[in-house]
Amino acid sequence: MYHQGHDHGHHHHAVDKDLPTYKLWISILLNLVITLVQFIGGLVSNSLALLSDAGHNLNDTLSLGNALYARKIGQKKADLANTFGYKRAEIIGAFINLITLIIIALVLVKEGIERFIDPISIDGSIMLWVAVIGLLGNVVTAILLHS
C-alpha cells in the first residue's frame, strides 16, 4: 500500500478492477477446495498448522467472494439515496474479512494453548502432502489473480 511518499508493503487481497470475473470465480472455487482439503487433512493428521492455513484460505475465499460482490454493487451509479454511489460495499467487505480473521486467530490461539498443555501426535506424511496440494493451489490462484 503506497501513500504519502512511502510503501507499507502490507499483505492485502485487493482485486484489480480489470480482472475478468471468471478468473475470480475460478479462484474462489480453487480456494474453497484448498480450504476443504487442508481442513480435512488437518483433522486427519492432527496438524494445527494445516487447520490454521485452512482458516487463512477460508478467509481468502471469503475475501474473493466479497470482492466479487463488492465489484457488482460498486458498479451501481450514485442515486438520490446514495450520493457517493455504492463504493462503501468494498469497505463493508473488508470489515467482514477483518472480523473473520480475528475469530480464526482467537480459535487458533485457544487451540494452540491447549495443545501446548496437552501435546498430541501429528502425522507428518499426511501433513506434507496436504501442504504441497495447498501450495500448488495457491500458486495457481496467484497466477490467475496476478495483474
| In-domain check, residue 39 | yes
| In-domain check, residue 64 | yes
pLDDT of amino acid 116: 93
| In-domain check, residue 73 | yes
> Count of domains in the chain?
1
Q: How far is CA 12 from CA 22, 35, 42, 44, in A?
A: 21, 18, 25, 30
Q: Which domain holds residue 63?
A: 19-145
| In-domain check, residue 14 | no
Q: Which residues pair with 2 in a beta bridge?
A: 7
Q: How far is CA 2 from CA 5, 7, 16, 118, 133, in A?
A: 7, 4, 16, 44, 33
**pTM recorded for the entire structure:** 0.71
Q: What is the pLDDT of residues 40-94, one digit of tens each?
A: 999 999 999 999 999 889 888 888 888 788 777 767 776 777 666 666 777 787 8
| In-domain check, residue 51 | yes
Beta-carbon contacts of residue 105 (< 8 Å; ≥ 6 apart) = none
Residue written as grid cell 439515496:
81
| In-domain check, residue 113 | yes
| In-domain check, residue 79 | yes
Cα–Cα dist 18/21, whole Å: 9
pLDDT tier at 10 (50, 70, 90 boundaries)? Answer: very low
Cα–Cα dist 5/64, whole Å: 29
| In-domain check, residue 6 | no
